[in-house]
Amino acid sequence: MRSVILAMLMLAAVQAKSQDPLKVDPGHFKVEFENDQVRVVRADFDPHYKSTMNQVPPRVVILLTDEHIRVTFPDGTSADRHLKAGTAFWTERGQGRPENLSDPPFELIWVVPKTVPPPNPAGAATANSGKWALTSLTR
């Protein structure tokens, strides 16, 4: 029984690691800077590129170009968004597969804090339901 539980835990750890976009899609996600407090990641997607399903951390996103993407979630639902270059927003941890729906490539920066604030208290309203919800910081 112990060996079965240990094997399941190891499989879960491997699956969790394999969802890191820096590991599952390294051609499109690159660490630009990292220290004890923050990790800065650049993502660039060619026209109509569809990434792999991945797990993203809570982060600030800054769009370097206009963005027209679709994010498909593990349950098969999806959400499209159109945002302008220069938009910055916070988004919670989430899992999904992003796809560039436009002809031009798009590029963005993530700023991922190493110290994540505690989760919302029980019963607190949340807008994201784990689906890459965003809270606008600018514009």
Instruction: Give the whole-angstrom CA distance, residue 90 versus residue 70.
Output: 18
| Phi/psi of residue 7, nearest 5 degrees | -65, -40
* Predicted structure pTM score: 0.68
What does the pLDDT profile of the chain (139 residues) look like in tens digits? 655 444 444 444 434 444 888 888 888 889 999 999 999 999 999 999 999 898 888 999 999 999 999 999 999 999 999 999 999 999 998 899 999 999 999 999 999 998 766 666 655 444 444 455 554 444 4
Task: Spell out the domains of the chain, with CATH numbers in brackets.
Answer: 18-120+127-136 (2.60.120.10)
Give, in degrees to the nearest 5, the angle at Cα 137 between 134 and 139. Answer: 105
Instruction: Give the whole-angstrom CA distance, residue 106 versus residue 42.
Output: 11
Instruction: Give the whole-angstrom CA distance, residue 25 versus residue 41.
Output: 12
71 Cα distance to chain centroid: 10
Residue given tokens 């019963």 in the structure block: 123
